[in-house]
Amino acid sequence: MGRTGAGKSSIVMTLFRLVEPEEGSLLKIDDITITDLKLNDLRQRISIIPQDPILFSGTIRFNMDPFNEHTDQEIWEALENAGLKSTISELEGKLEADVRANGENFSVGQRQLLCLARAMIRNSPILIMDEATASVDIETDAIIQKALRTKFSNVTVLTIAHRLNTIIDYDKILVLNKGEVLEFDTPKNLLFETNENGELVPSSKTEFSKLVDETGPVNAALLRQLALEKKIE
């Protein structure tokens, strides 16, 4: 997380090797430098749900499984987990129903849920959420958040979020500023400190705590409570 220009999207572009670093240490996944991997191998193991959901002209089936690697049952299961099974079932042609250019015959929320279902069926070990819920309604956001915490429980999820409530129960928070790492710790450690009496009290020293406070006293209190309740696996 970080303010505009902090470098959040740059990390995503580097992970996919859309840009190559000119100097400095390179990103590693499981102790393997990403530049040592074939580009196709790297990108097959990373899924992304972007802010602007991308669909292609064709059919529902093609958008879900463009390389024809999965069964109908697997596709329907992913659609059900994304809350879209009934919607697709009602379409003429069902999985063979047409998807117009850029998915114009679907709402923004439905397009985002289709991207979610596509990520589920790919079953990549790394999932990137790039402001994925910025343009959707509360109901769609709730479906996505539930899926992240259930269907992607064994996946490394990297989230760029515009709502602090979205990431407050994550394992670690990375705070960036102008391309530099300011903070990297658990939400609890960033929001609380121990006083002279050994008591855990709210902290206002970290950049993350300042951003939490900017959401207002009521929501800030809620965020701190959620951070306290987070269980470290």
Q: Which pLDDT band holds residue 25 (cuts at 50, 70, 90)?
A: low
Q: Residue 158 pLDDT more than 80?
A: yes
Q: Residue 233 pLDDT more than 60?
A: no
Cα atoms found within 13 Å of the Cα of residue 118, Cβ hemisphere only:
26
Structure tokens at 114: 């289709």
In tens, the pLDDT along 83-104 reads 889 899 998 889 999 988 878 8
Answer yes or no: are the C-beta atoms of 207 and 178 closer than 8 Å: no
CA-nearest of 148, 132, 160, 138 to 53 is: 132
Cα atoms found within 13 Å of the Cα of residue 21, Cβ hemisphere only:
16
**Can you count the helices (H) and strands (E) in the chain?**
11, 11
User: Which amino acid makes up residue 91?
Assistant: L
Q: What is the mean pLDDT of the chain?
A: 85
- What pTM was estimated for this model as a whole? 0.81
Predicted local distance difference test score (pLDDT) of residue 187: 92
Predicted local distance difference test score (pLDDT) of residue 224: 92
- Please tell me the distance from the alpha carbon of residue 171 to that of residue 232, in angstroms, as a whole number: 7
Q: What is the dihedral of CA 167, 173, 35, 64, to 10 degrees?
A: -10
Q: How many CB atoms lie within 10 A of CB 163?
A: 14
Partner residues linked to 46 by β-bridges? 126
Query: What length does the chain have?
Result: 233
Answer yes or no: are the C-beta atoms of 173 and 185 closer than 8 Å: yes
Percent of the chain with pLDDT strictly greater than 70 = 95
Predicted local distance difference test score (pLDDT) of residue 167: 87
Largest CA distance in the chain: 67
User: Which amino acid makes up residue 161?
Assistant: A
- Element of type H or E holding 175: strand 173-177
